[in-house]
Amino acid sequence: MFATEDTVVFFRNQFVPFKDATLTLANTGFLYGLGVFTGMRAHYNQEQDKLYLFRPADHYKRFLISCRLMRYSNFLKNFSEEKFISILKELLSKNAVREDVYIRVTNFTDEDKISPRLGQYKDAFSAFIYPLGDYVPTTGMRCKVSSWIRVEDNAIPARAKVNGAYVNTALAKAEAISLGFDEAIFLDRNGHVIEGSAENIFFVMDGKLVTPGVSDNILEGITRRSVIEMAKNLGIETIERSVDRTELYKADEIFMTGTGAKVSPVVSVDGIDVGDGLVGPVSSTIQNLYSRIVRGDEPEYMHWLVEC
């Protein structure tokens, strides 16, 4: 396993050693959380000796929307989908990656100005890699409904992956961990279930999947979209609708999805077993299929992968 500190990174239009990619203490992006990001994974298939990037074009599209919101003119003018993907491929090849990695792609406010503004300052693009196995337990998470509510579209839009909004994530995650749970589940101010601290959430009810809709202050997850399509191909319908808190306690199965979390079953919420408290058959089918897809072991889904 490599150390991020030993890698080459993309920073301000060029590849440089990690230690040379630095910002000043007065950087406005750092001071106010003014940046947007996406987290992607590349998976290494040992038998095939191939590395596959998962749905980079979809990450680009979501990232572009975040950059529009933040009025990042450098990115909007100069970074096409083709350029975005070619930088990521070059990042992986320059670092000779032959293991599973998480790629952190950020576009940030790159000025040392005193006040937080949008559309008036320079912005810069960066990308670097972490080695990353499991981000959360994948054999059955114990979750807690957070006492923190999810940020709203009219406050800091969850649809955009804004750096500063992850204070909301950190508060919920810290609370859950300090109370002995694995992960937090956010509600909104009306008590509806929104998502995990960094994952979308799915319920299995009466043989169908149920998940909060895209206008419920969720991040429109790329794993979420993939799971909906995989379920459809398996003949399982997905209903997108608002979900009450008490549905957490009556669902047959629950699982969470995300680039970091992959597909991770939930076995209890607030100390109450989900179903019989074991990983259910639908969760486990989707989890197994997802892990084969991302590694290039499912011919039907190769169009989601870019070989690096």
Using rule CB under 6 A, residue 223 touches ligand PLP? yes
Q: At 147, give phi and psi (nearest 5°).
A: -80, -10
Q: Which positions from 10 through 39 interact with ligand PLP, judged by CB under 6 A?
A: 39
Q: Is 94 a catalytic residue?
A: no
The residues, ordered by sequence, that sit 6+ positions from 283 with a Cβ below 8 Å of its Cβ are 204, 253, 254, 255, 263, 265
Rg (CA), the chain: 19
Using rule CB under 6 A, residue 224 touches ligand PLP? yes
Supply 118's token pair: 């949008």
The residue assigned the tokens 């106010």 is 32
Using rule CB under 6 A, residue 100 touches ligand PLP? no
Stretch that binds ligand PLP, among 65-73, 79-87, 220-228, 233-241 (CB under 6 A): 220-228
Q: Give the residue, chosen from 124, 219, 267, 294, that forms a contact with ligand PLP under the rule CB under 6 A.
A: 219
Task: Using the minimum distance from each CB to ligand PLP, give the nearer residue, 111 or 195.
Answer: 195
Give least dist CB 256 to ligand PLP, A.
9
Q: Which positions from 187 through 216 interact with ligand PLP, judged by CB under 6 A?
A: 195, 198-200
# binding residues, ligand PLP (CB under 6 A): 13
The site string for ligand PLP over 248-287 (x = CB under 6 A, - otherwise) reads ---------xxx----------------------------
Outline where DSSP puts E strands in 206-252.
208-211, 238-240
For ligand PLP, the nearest residue by Cβ is 221
Task: Using the minimum distance from each CB to ligand PLP, give the nearer residue, 136 or 282.
Answer: 136
The residues, ordered by sequence, that sit 6+ positions from 45 with a Cβ below 8 Å of its Cβ are 51, 52, 295, 296, 297
Question: Considering 144, 161, 173, 262, which one is annotated as catalytic?
Answer: 161
Question: How many C-beta atoms lie closer than 10 Å to residue 148's C-beta?
Answer: 20
Do residues 213 and 229 touch, judged by C-beta distance below 8 A? no
Active-site annotation, residues: 161
